[in-house]
Structure formats: C-alpha cells, structure tokens
Amino acid sequence: MTSETLALYRKYRPQSFKEVLDQDHIVNVLEGAIKKGEIPHAILFSGSRGTGKTTLARIFAKEIGTSSLDLYEIDAASNRGIDDIRELKEAVHTLPYESQYKVYIIDEVHMLTKEAFNALLKTLEEPPAHVVFMLATTEADKLLDTILSRCQVFTLHSPSREVLASVVTNVAKKEGFKLDKDAADLIALSADGSFRDVLGVIQKVILASGDTIGSVDEVATIIGAPKAASLRCLIEALAEKNLEKGMEAIEEAVDTQVNIKLFSRLVLERVRAVILLRNIPDTELKAIKNLSESELEYIQSLAKAEGSAINSHLLVKLLDASIVIPKVNTPRIPLELLLLDVCR
C-alpha cells in the first residue's frame, strides 16, 4: 500500500471549484464574485463536519490568486483567546508578500472567547482592502449576530447518500479496489453525511481487505456494521413481537462489536421501507432505490405479511431510540427498551 493511499482524504480533497460536489448553490456565487471582481471582505462557511468548509475556503483563496505565503489558517479551538486575535489585528495591516489579497481562514470560529469575538468584530468592521477573512463553523448559532451581519454567509449541504456512494465507488476504482454496490452504499451510510469520513472509511476497508473485491458482509465486518442476517433477525423479532429472538440479535451485535448507532439506522431504514411499500407499492420509490435485489424482495415480503407489528408507531419508537443511542454510555439499552416496549 502506498503512502498516498494512507491519506485518501488528502489525496482526493477537491482542488478546484469544478471538483466540489453537491454545493453548487455556493460555488456559483463564489465564481460569480470572482468574475465580477467583487471579492467579499468576510465570508462565513457553515455546515456539519466533513462537508468541505475549509476546502471551499482554500479553493476560493487560490482562485483569487493568494499564494501560500499570504494564506493563514487559524484553528480557533486552540487559538481562541484575546491575545491571539490581537496579534491577528496587528498582522492584517501589513501588506501581502506576493499576492493581491492576504487571506485568513479561521476554522471553528465559534470556539473564540467572548473577548476574542469582540476584538474580531472590530477587525471585521473596517478591514484593510487587501484582507479577506473566511470563517468556518459547525455551530453558526453560537456566533454573535453582529459577526454574522458582517459576513456573506453560506450554508453547506450535507452530501446525499447517493453522492457519497458515487464518491466511494470512484475512489475505490482509482485505488484498484472493486466494491459491491451494496458495500459502497453501506460505506456511504456509515459516513453520516461527511465527505471526510467517507474517505476515512474507504481507507480502512482497503487496508483491512485481503483482496481487491469487497463484499457487503466483508465491509460490514471491517467497519462495525451488522451483517444482513443480523439485521433481518432484529426486524423479524420486532415484526413478530418475539422478545427472545430480538434480544439474541442485539446480543450478537454487541458480541461482534457492531456499531449500534449504525445498526439502529439500518433497522430504521428498512422498517421505513416496509411501511412505505405497504402504503405506496411503487418499487421506484427513492427510499428503496439503495436496496439490493435480494434485500428489496425481503422488504416486499415483510410489507405483504399479515399481522406484522411493523407500523408507524414502531417507526416513531425507532426514531426516538436512534436519537438517544449516541448519547448513552451503553448504546444497546435504547434498543432493548424499544424491544421490551414492542413485545409486551
């Protein structure tokens, strides 16, 4: 394995606007500003982790001709105090070394202290003409309204599962590794809407696999996802109100070190598909397009089953459990409580 493969998130990070996926609403505006020569003095990129906030900032800096000498990246999580911002306030007045613009990228800007925020605000109010600030945050709601009002604010979309699955397939192909469609979809789901995370998962799969073909069960074992049989066991237990069978499925998931959060999401997805198919018998539904042929046949059989306990009330309970699971130290407990509630 090459050293390049060991850093896929860097190797495949977009280097230009045309390589940026699923953020056309932002790219079009930024490209328009550059063409018109109307460069904002302050931009805020907001969005969940791994969606490409700092990547967009770097590309914008590159597109307006800023060299590495005139590009400064600051992590507000570790440089969050008033002294750090005071140093920045003094530095912005010096001219760029070799570019028209001096660009400051401040990541996780919401982590700044109140005093640092106030100091930054004064700098944003009257920045030198040669300075562009690009702020990035996962928690825009923590920013002062006065900061937001001085920035052009862009909210990044979390990439769709389909987009992430295409990234998985394309990157795997470039790395000489073939993935089953179901395996690529499972990796996309496990990434939880993050480009960075999906590349990290692909890296783990490629490193751990002993061949050049990754099946869905092989990938499931590597990334801590449940195998198809385990999923079906719990879903059938819920449908049949079979407490013992359900507890065995959860126990097996824990024993095989399955990621319970991912387990619950996969169960939730399939229960939703059953309910939708039962009420809208159209196999072109987007909700089931990611399912393999065999999985679709299985879901259809569940939808047709008489006396099944799979209904909208169960779906609501699954939603509640999936929200609680990441917040507790023993993630199996919400699933066990759900099972007890359904079966008794």
Q: Quote the CA–CA distance of 211 and 79 in Å, as a whole number.
A: 44
Tokens of 332: 């199996």
Q: What is the pLDDT of residue 285?
A: 66
Asked if residues 98 and 128 have their Cβ atoms less than 8 Å apart, the reply is no
Helix (H, G, I), strand (E, B) or coil at 107: strand
pTM of the model: 0.84
Asked if residues 232 and 263 have their Cβ atoms less than 8 Å apart, the reply is no
Q: What are phi and psi of 80, to 5 degrees?
A: -105, 0
Please indicate, yes or no, whether residues 216 and 275 belong to a single structural domain of this protein.
no
Please indicate, yes or no, whether residues 148 and 29 belong to a single structural domain of this protein.
yes
Q: What is the pLDDT of residue 287?
A: 64
Q: What is the pLDDT of residue 1?
A: 41
Beta strands in 54-186 (DSSP E): 71-75, 102-107, 131-137, 152-155, 178-179
Look at residues 134, 155, 176 and tell me which one is the last residue of a structural domain: 155
Residue span of the structural domain in which 259 resides: 228-343
Please indicate, yes or no, whether residues 150 and 48 belong to a single structural domain of this protein.
yes
Q: Quote the CA–CA distance of 173 and 115 in Å, as a whole number.
A: 49
Q: What is the pLDDT of residue 250?
A: 94
Is position 12 within any domain? no
**Cβ-based neighbours of 197, under 8 Å, separated by 6 or more:** 49, 50, 190, 191
Please indicate, yes or no, whether residues 150 and 185 belong to a single structural domain of this protein.
no
Q: What tens digit of pLDDT does each residue of 166-209 get?
A: 999 999 999 999 888 888 989 998 998 899 999 999 999 988 88
Look at residues 131, 155, 179 and tell me which one is the last residue of a structural domain: 155
Look at residues 203, 223, 243 and tell me which one is the last residue of a structural domain: 223
Q: What is the pLDDT of residue 9?
A: 87
CATH number of 247's domain: 1.20.272.10
CATH number of 121's domain: 3.40.50.300
Please indicate, yes or no, whether residues 242 and 174 belong to a single structural domain of this protein.
no
Q: What is the pLDDT of residue 2?
A: 44
**How many folded domains does the chain comprise?**
3
Q: What is the pLDDT of residue 4?
A: 42
Please indicate, yes or no, whether residues 88 and 199 belong to a single structural domain of this protein.
no
State which residues of the chain have pLDDT below 50.
1-5
Please indicate, yes or no, whether residues 29 and 53 belong to a single structural domain of this protein.
yes
Is position 9 within any domain? no
Is position 75 within any domain? yes
Q: Quote the CA–CA distance of 38 and 48 in Å, as a whole number.
A: 28
Per DSSP bridges, beta strands 42-46 and 131-137 are parallel
Q: Quote the CA–CA distance of 50 and 23 in Å, as a whole number.
A: 13
Q: Quote the CA–CA distance of 183 and 270 in Å, as a whole number.
A: 16
Nearest Cα to 139, choosing from 46, 36, 214, 222? Answer: 46
Please indicate, yes or no, whether residues 249 and 306 belong to a single structural domain of this protein.
yes
